[in-house]
Chains A and B, each alone.
Chain A
Amino acid sequence: MSNGSTKIMVALAGQPNSGKSTIFNMLTGARQHVANYPGVTVEKKTGSFRLKEDRIEIIDLPGTHSLTSYTQEERIARDFLLNERPAVVVDVVDASNLERNLYLTFQLAEMGIPLIVNLNMTDVAEKRGLKIDSEKLSREIGAPVVSTVGNRSRGKDELKKAIEMTLKNGQVTPFRIDYGEAMEPALSLLEKHLSGDPDLSERYPLRWLAIKLMENDPEAQKLIRECSKNGDELLKLVKEERNAFVNDQKTSSQKVIAVARHRTAEGIVETSVTCEKKTGKTLTDKIDQAACNRYLGPVILAATIYLMYELAIVQGYKITEYTWPLLAGFRDIVASLLPSEGFIFDPFFRSMPIWVIDGTIAVLNYVPIFLILFALIAILEDTGYMARMAFILDRIFRHFGLHGQSILPMVLGGLFVGGCAIPGVMACRAMKDEKARMATIMIVPLMNCLAKIPFYVLLIGIFFAGCKGVAMFFISTITIIIALGVAKGLSLTVLRSRPNAPFVMEMPPYHMPTFQGIMRRSLERTWLFIKKIITIVIVVSAIVYLLIYFPGISEKRNAYYSDRADQIQKEFFKETGANNPYADLLAGDNLSKFAGYWMDYKKAKMGAGKKDAKEAIDKKFRERNFAFFKIVKKGKYEVDGEIIKDKHAMKTYKAYKKLDKERNGLRRERREETIISSFMGRAGRFLEPVTRWAGFNWRVNIALISSFAAKENSVATLGGIYQSSQEDKEETLEQRIKKKETSWTALHALAIVLFMAMYPPCIATLLMVRVETGSTKWMLFAAFYPIVLGFIISIFVFTGGNLLGLSGFQVMILFYLLAIVFLVSMGLIKKESE
């Protein structure tokens, strides 16, 4: 079978949690390639290892209890075995649960691919006092049996050896289950008819196909219909046989087949396993007595969730304070390579790349959070606590079309104020219930991600100054209320036809996770995220840039800004005074050179902490350009231990400070004008007649639209639009907004905040939605429904509040109560039974 350089495929199959991935890592040394199966969200892991002179490619199949076609995992595993025909299947079996695992083993054997039974977790079995006679077992199943302890790499060589032998010899004695007197004749008959069709007999294991047809498996029927010329005839025969069987036996064929498999497993376990000690209460039982306790359980759950939030979001955010300077440093390095800044007008090839880099590092900034988060999720998964979480919460979530497992994605997305929708959406992957999973993916972005927080804080600070706590509580809870309502709404409408997996959930024994295992998963998933997201974020933010800065302002306006720039420069030179040597020094090109120096110096000083650091910076800048240094030091510097007071430099400093301020003002003014006349700005103005009903003027519109690229922008854009007036005093953004929008009330703010709460997900999140749903349509839906919903809510609040003559605070309370009533009545809607 093995010959030279051809690629040899070996598949790893097994029930969930039997240790497939561990065995995979053991065999490959964790050299792996993780990808998604096309169109679905189950990860496909491939890796390879050497076996003598052959290279073996190994595929880690998703864990399944059976091989029906009802769940995605089972379909994937089955289709892979059926269509790719690997040379060997290694069935990773949990030795401590042999009987249940054999149920799958039989089905793998039926697929007719040479099989190796890998008894994993033998250490656990031993601890439970189970003694498995692997030779007997091997004889019963007719396949080699290899014992391993995957997480300690025990049995690695033996497993490799078995693979080598099986590749050489093929299957010795194919295993057959006896399905009983009533079923076997039907199976033989079907097999005979199927073998008459070369299209089928060449490609598929016929006995397996016959069994599946008797099981009334929809995919098997489809296969016949598509592959066989006389498929209809065959299917008719199948139907007759099945009906005859049911009439005869008064029971369904599925039941008989499943019972035969379980009984066979029972028989094999009886002969090859001896149980040496009776197990009392296991540690898992003891833990669960607390963890699933009626009163203690929810408390432990809440504490766990809080701990995750605290470690990943809060502490992770603190780490970003250390990693951010690295990213910012990278940005500065790139910026220094780009064409330099103009006095008023920056060249396109400077501002565009910088914009794109800013957008990209804004996303990369969250990498520490992801690393922690994914590690914590891996711990929850590996220990087995995830199943308990679902167990405790399922009752509540089910009312809204969700699943107990929805809690984790929601927490990560920012159930408490502050999270990130990207890992939230990614965490939905673990959910088996397709309908609940889709609903969860759709509502996770409604949670309050970190980027929304500054915006809330800003508006609350202005308009709800007297009741900040209440307002913050309102925001963080109203989003949950709305999200649950949306989930219910979706599952009653667009998601109605999605399959609703039955809630049949294993509660695995608690496991102590290994450090390497956790780290590996965390790194793997973070890397997957970076690879997937970054390139697209770059492209999309470039497009947004064009929309915000183009078509640009007219020639005339440009000339106007140039004039004003000349003017303020002239004034500067007037102010420095005649006979000022520094004025000559700054003439011409040197002025913008000095501008760069000035900015660098300011930046360096801002970051410096201690006195030593400050002195070091001074030294550096002194060396860089002594003349400039004199100016930025306000004419006070040291030469040969003597302090010199340089009047000219002092004067130049003062004049430049004024120039700098005016220049910044001018730049901001020009930027604002560019944005207003841009495509985005036009959209903002165009929409004003409609958005007025929600209390948004065009300025807010622009801020809202432009924050689509990343919500971090919202406050920055507002800052740009509500620029400080030319007067000298420094005003905070709060004060500026208050001054400009004198007619604004708390009601305006409430409408805007609510819209922000419903704001569509950022680009990175949308891409993740695309990945997880495998559909562009759903991605677009995730982008648009929040806009519509947010807008409706804002209009309702603003116009309604105005009509009733209520204050912002009153409307807030009223809206909250209405939302709760609405939610409760939504929760009471029962889904119509199937």
Chain B
Amino acid sequence: MTLDEIKQDQECEVVDINFEGMVGQRLLDMGFIPGTRIKVVRNAPLVDPVEFLMKGYHISLRHSEAKLVEVTLL
């Protein structure tokens, strides 16, 4: 499954990133690499974007970007 499918307060672990180029590089730089644990903190009031907690800091992605991150639910 992909990161955009994870519900609020659920935790998951990154399996892979399915994209190259700018977006993929940016996600890699921010630490979306296999093994990283991610918790969904909350959705924005209009559902999109989503705020995540990983490695002690908060980061928000749009669904369109979160879709590129493959995860497994913990």
Contact = CB atoms under 8 A, between A and B. Distances in A.
Contacts of B25: 66, 68, 70, 215, 254, 258
B30 A293 contact: no
B65 A394 contact: no
B7 interface: no
B28 A255 contact: yes
A228 B50 CA distance: 45
B12 interface: no
B66 to A, nearest CB: 10
A499 B22 CA distance: 10
Interface string B25-57: 111111101100000011111111101000111
Contact of B26 (A70, A295, A396, A508): A70
Interface string A783-803: 000000000000000000000
A104 B29 CA distance: 9
B26 to A, nearest CB: 5
A103 B36 CA distance: 15
Given A293-B45, A392-B45, A396-B46, A66 B58 contact: no
Interface string A708-739: 00000000000000000000000000000000
Contacts of B26: 65, 70, 502, 504
B30 A65 contact: yes
Contact of B29 (A258, A391, A501): A258
A155 interface: no
B1 interface: no
A255 B17 contact: yes
A267 to B, nearest CB: 13
A27 B9 CA distance: 43
Contacts of A395: 44, 46-49
Contacts of A99: 55-56
Given A502-B26, A504-B27, A97 B44 contact: no
B33 A259 contact: yes
B60 A258 contact: no
Interface residues of A, number: 41
B46 A507 contact: no
B33 A262 contact: yes
B6 interface: no
A501 B47 CA distance: 20
Contacts of A826: none
B57 A97 contact: yes
A513 interface: no
A509 B41 CA distance: 14
B44 A392 contact: yes
B61 interface: yes
Contacts of A297: 44-45
B20 interface: yes
A174 interface: no
Given A103-B29, A395-B48, A506 B58 contact: yes
Interface string A645-667: 00000000000000000000000
B44 to A, nearest CB: 5
A294 B51 CA distance: 13
A252 interface: yes
Given A258-B28, A499-B22, A292 B51 contact: yes
A503 interface: yes
A70 B26 CA distance: 9
Interface string A388-406: 0001101110100000000
B29 A65 contact: yes
Contacts of A295: 45
Residue of A259, A398, A505 with most chain B CB atoms under a 10 A cut-off: A505
A258 B51 CA distance: 22
Interface magnitude class on chain B: 20 to 34
Nearest to A505: B60
A254 B28 contact: yes
Contacts of B47: 395
B62 A503 contact: yes
A100 interface: yes
Interface string A36-67: 00000000000000000000000000000110
Nearest to A398: B62
A391 B49 contact: yes
Contacts of A499: 22
Given A292-B42, A394-B44, A499-B22, A100 B28 contact: no
A827 interface: no
A391 B51 contact: yes
A298 interface: yes
A448 B62 CA distance: 31
B61 A503 contact: yes
A212 to B, nearest CB: 12
Interface in A480-514: 499, 501-509
Contacts of B65: 502-504
B23 A502 contact: yes
A443 B49 CA distance: 24
B46 to A, nearest CB: 4
Contacts of B23: 502
Contacts of A255: 17, 28, 33
Nearest to B56: A97
A66 B26 CA distance: 8
A829 to B, nearest CB: 16
Nearest to A104: B29
Nearest to B24: A254
Interface in A196-221: 215-216
A507 B33 contact: no
B61 A252 contact: no
B41 to A, nearest CB: 8
A437 to B, nearest CB: 16
A710 B72 CA distance: 60
Nearest to B46: A395
B36 to A, nearest CB: 8
Nearest to A265: B31
A254 B20 contact: yes
Nearest to A504: B26
Contacts of B29: 65-66, 68, 103, 258
Contact of A100 (B22, B27, B31, B61): B31
A502 B22 contact: yes
A746 B62 CA distance: 46
Nearest to A64: B29
Residue of A295, A297, A501, A504 with most chain B CB atoms under a 10 A cut-off: A504
Interface in A156-186: none
Contacts of A391: 44, 49, 51, 60
Interface string A285-304: 00010001111011000000
A791 B30 CA distance: 47
Given A254-B28, A258-B33, A507 B45 contact: no
A508 B57 CA distance: 8
B18 to A, nearest CB: 11
Interface string A362-399: 00000000000000000000000001000110111010
Given A70-B22, A292-B45, A295-B45, 11 more contacts: A258-B25, A391-B60, A395-B46, A395-B49, A502-B65, A503-B49, A503-B65, A504-B26, A504-B61, A504-B65, A506-B57
22 contacts: A65-B30, A68-B29, A254-B20, A254-B25, A255-B17, A258-B25, A258-B29, A387-B60, A392-B46, A394-B62, A395-B44, A395-B47, A501-B22, A502-B26, A503-B60, A504-B27, A504-B60, A504-B65, A505-B49, A506-B58, A507-B51, A509-B58
- Shortest 5 CB-CB distances between A and B: which pairs? A258-B28, A395-B46, A507-B58, A66-B29, A502-B23
